Amino acid sequence: MNISFDDLHKAFESRIRLGIMSVLAVNESLDFTALKEFLDVTDGNLATHLKKLEKEEFISVEKSFIDNKPNTKYSMTPNGKEAFDNHLQALEAIIKSQKES
Amino acid sequence: MKEQRDYIQDIAEIRSMMERSSKFASLSGWAGILAGIYALGGAFAAYILFGFNPDELNYTSSNLTNVILLAIGVLGLALITAIYLSWRKARSKDEKVWNATSKRLLISMAIPLVSGGVLILVLLAHGLTGLAAPLMLIFYGLALVNAGHFTISEVKIMGIVQITLGLLSTWFIEYGLLLWAAGFGAVHIIYGIYMHFRYER
């Protein structure tokens, strides 16, 4: 049982970070505005969580300009995908084991 | 340590975020019903007012321009209705219609629709009027199958039905207008009613 809890990654403790990873799992890449709309959070809040995920190398950031306006696209790295999948499996394992006990 | 229901909540959250960010759910059943009614009206008007009923590939009609204008009118009306009703539905759920998913939905539909549209115009210029109705059904069907990846999967099934009707109608050119009315009219209405009862009540 304690093995499962170790598999839960600390980076995913926040609902917003979990949300970012879920959205990026099914979308190839998304810009800041799209993420903000899906997650319904403020700019600053989202930026902080994105920074954190970037530091973990779970997401990659690609900056570009569209019509002279900065546009930042975020996508999931293979690293991030692995961590997210492990996290999901750990969640399922915990729920299953708690239901049995 | 978190409670079990917290983990269940996490999983529910993940599922809902994935669903919401990859599927466009604001398409209204009423848009389908109304589009179907416009199409039936358009087909009827083309037949009654302009005597338009292609029965062979090389079909000439003195009213061809009128029929094309009528078709564009029907398409425009259906689009405006769909956009307006989607916008209203999205607003009532406090979501935006114009998001990353709807953008991708539109692009995936536009590619087959524009290529089909250009092809049909070229064929019309060569007098192959009989192929217009079947090709409209086929390319619209392809657009729907494509769009089905980004919205409810029933749209894919509707696409396959339209493609089948289109292929049938390339063989039975004389029933082109009738099959067009069946595809764009009846199928839309049936789909709209299904959507309305399945997802909106």
Residue B49's Cβ-side half-sphere holds a number of Cα atoms within 13 Å equal to: 12
Residue B19's Cβ-side half-sphere holds a number of Cα atoms within 13 Å equal to: 10
Q: Is residue A4 part of a domain?
A: no
Q: Is residue A24 part of a domain?
A: yes
pLDDT at A1: 46
pLDDT at B19: 82
pLDDT band, residue B181 (cuts 50/70/90): very high
* Domain containing residue A70: CATH number: 1.10.10.10
Which of A22, A31, A89 is the mutation pick for testing B, counting most B CBs within 10 A? A22
What ranges in B93-187 are assigned the alpha helix state H? 100-125, 132-147, 154-171, 176-180
For residue A39, which residues of chain B lie inside 8 Å, CB to CB? Answer: 17
**Is residue B37 within 8 Å of residue B77, measured between CB atoms?**
no
pLDDT > 90? residue B104? no
Residue B111, SS3 per DSSP: helix
**Is residue B73 within 8 Å of residue B43, measured between CB atoms?**
no
pLDDT at B172: 94
Residue among A53, A43, A66 at smallest CA distance from A19: A53
Cβ pair B21:A38 closer than 8 A: yes
Cβ pair A15:B17 closer than 8 A: no
- Please give the tally of structural domains in chain A: 1
Q: What is the pTM of this model?
A: 0.79
Q: Is residue A65 part of a domain?
A: yes
Residue of A nearest to B100 (CA): A34
- Straight-line distance from the first to the last Cα atom of chain B, in angstroms, rounded to the nearest whole number: 40
Condensed to tens digits (0 to 9), the pLDDT of residues B46-85 reads 999 898 888 888 888 888 889 999 999 999 999 999 999 9
Average pLDDT, chain A: 86
pLDDT at B112: 95
pLDDT at B192: 94
Q: Alpha-carbon distance B32 to A85, whole Å?
A: 38
A93 interface with B at CB cutoff 8 Å: no
Angle between helices B4-22 and B100-125 (to 10 degrees): 20
Q: Which of B10, B99, B100 sits opposite A18 (nearest CB)?
A: B10
Q: What residues make up the domain containing A56?
A: 15-95
Residue of B nearest to A88 (CA): B11
Q: What would the DSSP string read from start to end of B173-189?
A: GGGHHHHHIIIIIIIHH
Residue among B26, B47, B28 at smallest CA distance from B36: B28
Scored b (16 or more CB within 10 A) or e, A4-38 reads beeebbebbeebbbbbbbbbbbebeebbbebbbbb
**Is residue B192 within 8 Å of residue B30, measured between CB atoms?**
yes
pLDDT > 70? residue A18? yes
Q: Is residue A58 part of a domain?
A: yes
Cβ pair B7:A5 closer than 8 A: no
pLDDT > 50? residue A82? yes
